[in-house]
Structure 1
Amino acid sequence: MERKKVYLLFSGGLDSIIAAKLLKDLGFEVIGVHITSPFFQKNLEDLKNLAKELGINLEFIEAGDDYLEMLKNPVYGYGKNINPCIDCKAYMLRKIKELAKGNIIATGEVLGQRPMSQHLDAFRKIEKLSGLKGKVLRPLSAKLLPQTVYEEEGIVKKEELLDLKGRSRKRYPEILEKLKINLENLPTPAGGCLLTEPIYAKKVKDLMAHDELTWENVKLLKIGRHFRIGDCKLIIGRNREENRFLRKHKKEEDCVLWTPSIPGPTALLRCKKTPESSFLKIAAEIVARYSDAKDRPSVEVAVEKNDKLIDRLTVKPNFNTEEFSIR
């Protein structure tokens, strides 16, 4: 008899590990599904190794432009920063639904563990928004939750599942021992969503405010210092690695700024149209501010476009960046 498949939303955190092992031990073929995006900080190779240790298959789904559209206007709003937790979880489950094709869909959610997205009302909203009413199995808290269609149909027995609730981890050692989970590097509970971080959230809001929320621009948010000069975005590298990254990811219309006669950062100036001369001067002054020219009365900043030098500006290095900083 062919084993029933379970498509499990797999973050790689402790809860999804327990859910995967529990379902596998109950005889299901477990396929972990991990949604990838620059907002979620997970090493994909580590996840592959983890899945191998657990003996489960692993699929990756990349968040698309539809995720960014959801982020702009989530049905159930944001958390403390710009984290649309309910809409985000519904988005992930919709993607899994496309993959699962009628098989069981599960998550490692624990009732009461997260204030915005892991309570009974939130679970109902997530299922409604994803089109999966009664079709999301949460094995870690199943004994405390309404029956799913899988339990009603006898595919899963509620008594074989768990009754975890809240943020306490006191019962976890016992559960890990019972399930014989003995991984070489046991992770902590999942987290790491950059949208929950205040400074990062301000950068995302800035992109939204200027209609620049694209994955290409999002990938630059973790790099360097960020400034807004009119309708232009200035990103200044903080080290050699970031300087190289900015040069590698420049577009044809971008300007690259650097200090040719003194050690300093590389900066990327991205504008919707040719930058005004005043904007270019401000950008040069900010670049000079982060160079090694702090004790000099002036410093030369080179401006390059399409790998061609287009200007050299002599500016003062003691510029006050506060007005333009995004943080």
Structure 2
Amino acid sequence: MKAIALFSGGLDSTLALKLIIDQGIEVLAVNINTGFGSTKDRYEHMLNLCKQVGAELRIIDIESEFLQDVLFDPKHGYGKNFNPCIDCHAKMFAVAKRVMEAEGASFLISGEVLGQRPMSQNKEAMQTVLNESNCNGLLLRPLSAKALAPTIAEINGWVDREKLEGIVGRSRDRQLELVEEIGLKDFESPGGGCLLTDENFAKKMFDFIKHDTFEVRDIPVMKYGRHLRLPDGAKLVVGRNRDENVHLQNIVNEKYYHIKTLGLPGPHSLLSKSATEADKELAAKIILTYCKTKEDTAYKLSLDEKEEIEATPFASRDELKPYTIM
């Protein structure tokens, strides 16, 4: 007997794995990458948790499919920000079902808890996800199983329903008891989850689609730096710290210039290649305003290490507010 688990790397999905593995069932933990999960590489963290509970980990990239099918025209709309949670979950379950069929597995599991998230984890929303993904009866939610209708795995006796949980609501007390019982280490505290649920990230997304067609190659651009929109329409991204500078420096996207300061330490920045000369000059002034500079001194910056531009910084960062998205 084999099951496919939707695995986020969070505590709930890890406990769901353990509850099924403890019943003698082989579990493949599938982490589905939409591109918007995190700004950090969580592979080692996820691998560690899977090793602790005895599951195999597999990462499946659906960035292109997610943009094409879900992000910009969700059938069930968005949440508070740019988050099409119901459509996203349905897409993930549909992908997991494809994996299940390819692997010869018998059912699916997830770490969802009934009532933990009022909008996307109420009974109606959870049933909608099953209907949309054609997973009705196939998906077992081990942490809330006793509070939900029996699934095929329970009805057929593949899984002992009495050994599952009936957790409902936002309290984590029972999950923490299970952590102690199994000796789980290095798990994450509940976090913000998908970037699309973040208000500031949503602002960047809404601004982007007003000016450009969003593509897979644009996802890394959205994850790092301060984002500004200049008067003639160019997008400027300015690194906020060393880690962000490294990420921005490694981005390969033909839509953008890579801008560096010359002769003084400064942030790594990206600027739309469609930028007018006026926007280029303004971008240079903005970038210099985030450096340790003298107000009336001109400095040079390079665009793709081919073109140089000279500018003076603004007197105050307050002057950048009209252009700042977040």
TM-score normalised by the chain length of structure 2: 0.89
2:189 alignment partner in structure 1: 188
- Residue 241 of structure 2, aligned match among 232, 239, 242: 239
Q: Distance in 1 between matches of 2:187 and 2:253?
A: 41
Q: Please tell me the residue identity of whatever aligns with 1:117.
A: S
Q: Which consecutive aligned stretches of 4+ in structure 1 deviate over 4 angstroms post-superposition?
A: 250-253
1:220 alignment partner in structure 2: 221
- Residue 255 of structure 1, aligned match among 248, 254, 257: 257
1:313 alignment partner in structure 2: 310
Q: 1:246 deviation in Å?
A: 3.0
The 8 Å contact of residues 13 and 191 in structure 1, kept in 2 or not, is answered as no
Q: 1:250 deviation in Å?
A: 4.9
1:126 alignment partner in structure 2: 129
* Inter-CA distance 243–57: structure 2 relative to 1 (3 Å threshold): closer
2:65 pairs with 1:63: no
Matched residue SS, 1:171: helix
2:116 alignment partner in structure 1: 113
The 8 Å contact of residues 288 and 299 in structure 1, kept in 2 or not, is answered as no
1:81 alignment partner in structure 2: 81
Q: 1:198 deviation in Å?
A: 1.1
Q: Distance in 1 between matches of 2:192 and 2:13?
A: 12
The 8 Å contact of residues 14 and 190 in structure 1, kept in 2 or not, is answered as no
Matched residue SS, 1:220: helix
Task: List per-residue Cα deviations over 1:272-325 (Å, max 9, x = no partner).
Answer: x3x2111112112211221222x42242232424x31x2433334336111211
Matched residue SS, 1:93: helix
1:100 alignment partner in structure 2: 100
Matched residue SS, 1:209: helix
Q: Distance in 2 between matches of 1:31 and 1:240?
A: 37
Gaps of 5+ in 1: none
The 8 Å contact of residues 226 and 326 in structure 1, kept in 2 or not, is answered as yes
Q: Distance in 2 between matches of 1:161 and 1:184?
A: 21
2:321 alignment partner in structure 1: 322
The 8 Å contact of residues 250 and 268 in structure 1, kept in 2 or not, is answered as no
1:168 alignment partner in structure 2: 171
The 8 Å contact of residues 32 and 62 in structure 2, kept in 1 or not, is answered as yes
* Inter-CA distance 284–131: structure 2 relative to 1 (3 Å threshold): same
Matched residue SS, 1:172: helix
* Mapping for residues 247-326 of structure 1, pairs under 5 Å: 247-252=249-254, 254-271=256-273, 273=274, 275-293=275-293, 295-305=294-304, 307-308=305-306, 310-318=307-315, 320-326=319-325
Q: Please tell me the residue identity of whatever aligns with 1:224.
A: G
Q: 1:72 deviation in Å?
A: 1.0
Matched residue SS, 2:229: strand
Number of corresponding residues: 317
2:90 alignment partner in structure 1: 90
Task: List per-residue Cα deviations over 1:112-151 (Å, max 9, x = no partner).
Answer: 1111111110111101111112221112111111222233
In terms of fraction of residues, the more helix-rich structure is 2
Task: List per-residue Cα deviations over 1:177-221 (Å, max 9, x = no partner).
Answer: 5xx410232333465321121111111222222234223222122
Matched residue SS, 1:259: strand
Q: Distance in 1 between matches of 2:260 and 2:179?
A: 54
1:207 alignment partner in structure 2: 208
Q: Distance in 1 between matches of 2:268 and 2:16?
A: 46
TM-score normalised by the chain length of structure 1: 0.88
1:23 alignment partner in structure 2: 20
> How well do the aligned residues superpose, as a CA RMSD in angstroms?
2.2
* Inter-CA distance 143–209: structure 2 relative to 1 (3 Å threshold): same
Q: Distance in 2 between matches of 1:149 and 1:67?
A: 28
